[in-house]
Structure 1
């Protein structure tokens, strides 16, 4: 029997400007599109308990939250916030300059590993989200991403941004397939794949093979739609992406 596809979630960076003014209203609109889950980028000053209450009211799951790695002095406060908000998975990235050398990568990995150890004490998890420097930068024939993965504690999960992997010169489906059960979620988007100022387009109108990326690894638990910026109305775009994924049997949703 073929297992059902992963559920689809919306990354709220797609609606960052509106969410900064009215996060709870944005959650209502995303739920109305049929998304069963969201991944936050910020709580925009709301109390974590209030966000959790709104999510529960709407039947939404907080699949994960983008939040700084809980390492150093701020670790406890970060973990407190998102534990109260109702997620057990925090996701973040290293900065592009942290991929300039193997030494810089090692220092970044140490911070991530510290964060994972802190999170584990709360029964929480850390995942790493890539951009494109991880794939563009190569050291002795190995991508910076490969160097990073070797340095990370195996407990650190992965969230593969398929679009930025492609922008960095990698084959997103091949990367996803290579990551095995460590790959918790994938970010799906489409566009020209040129750089960080790209404007995203509906699935099938850019250079991405979204279907291949979505199907590449059966261990993936979440398909997360993120549109960093677009000339399209963002709710219309998120709705079209939802329809594409659910309509093609790649993901499952609520309508």
Structure 2
């Protein structure tokens, strides 16, 4: 199944800090159909909507607003400005460190989900690797999912591998019934987390990420496991060893060449 191609603009955050409109034009020129913003830099949300509309770009989802227990009303307002029907949330390692933490995180999430639902919005969650560690033989994310039955998931397949401990395609299959979106990145999966030091939710020695098709991810298998109702692929590279614009371009070319993606070129 071919899916429309979107790019998570966090990938191009360094470039966007200098000239966000130029970044959006570049993404459109490469051939991406849609963007998923993670901030608006020099633009207001309304200005952002106009710029992407003028460029012929679509927006299926956004990482702004990023909902938390303290900004629910603000998230609802900003979702309205952006014309969104769903809002994202996500958590750090401490929020999944043990069963008590998972229960507390689930409680906050359920409050958020109920208030968003009352405003006509769906809550989905984006994962990193720590949710896919195991606790007493069970995935932490599965424990959490059972406690939050109405939350949807945007599975980041690369992080779901938890440095090779899990098969990403199997993780997608596991959460497929509740998936609403998918993030695809590539790189060296089999790296030792013990060699990485977490600082403020990120690694101070970066996991090696590469353009799609140039790492260890079995991307065709992951996308084959992705439910058919997900009609787009969000490409994201948190960082890369090569120029990011080139990496995003090569990722697009790989997905088109492999018959996995639909673009505007």
Rounded Cα–Cα distance in structure 1 between residues aligned with 2:212 and 2:66: 31
Alignment length, in residue pairs? 250
**Aligned mates of 1:45, 1:205 — CA distance in 2:** 33
User: Over the residues paired in the alignment, what is the CA RMSD in angstroms?
Assistant: 1.8
Give the match for residue 224 of structure 2: 215
Please show how residues 99-138 of structure 1 align to structure 2 within 5 Å: 99-136=96-133, 138=134
Q: Find 2:52's aligned residue among 51, 55, 80.
A: 55
The aligned residue for residue 199 of structure 2 is none
Task: Specify which of 199, 206, 213 is matched with residue 204 of structure 1.
Answer: 213
Q: Is the 8 A contact 1:39 1:66 kept in 2?
A: yes
**Equivalent residue of 2:187, what SS?**
coil
Distance (Å, rounded) in 2 between the aligned partners of 1:25 and 1:132 = 32
Separation of aligned partners in 1, 2:261 and 2:84? 21
Aligned to 2:198: none
**What stretches of structure 2 of length at least 5 have no aligned partner?**
194-202
**Superposed CA offset, 1:155-182 (max 9, x none):** x111111111113421111111222342
Which one of the candidate residues 9, 21, 25 is aligned to 1:28? 25
Correspondence 1:178 to 2:187: no
* Change over 3 Å in CA distance of 1:188–1:71 after alignment to 2: closer
- The one-character-per-residue Cα deviations of 1:123-163 (angstroms, maximum 9, x if unpaired) are 22211111111112x22211101111111132x11111111
TM-score between both structures, scaled by the size of structure 2: 0.88
Match of 2:155 in 1: 160
Contact persistence 2:93–2:130 (CA under 8 A): yes
SS of 1:8 mapped into structure 2: strand
Q: Contact 1:190–1:202 (CA<8 Å) still a contact in 2?
A: yes
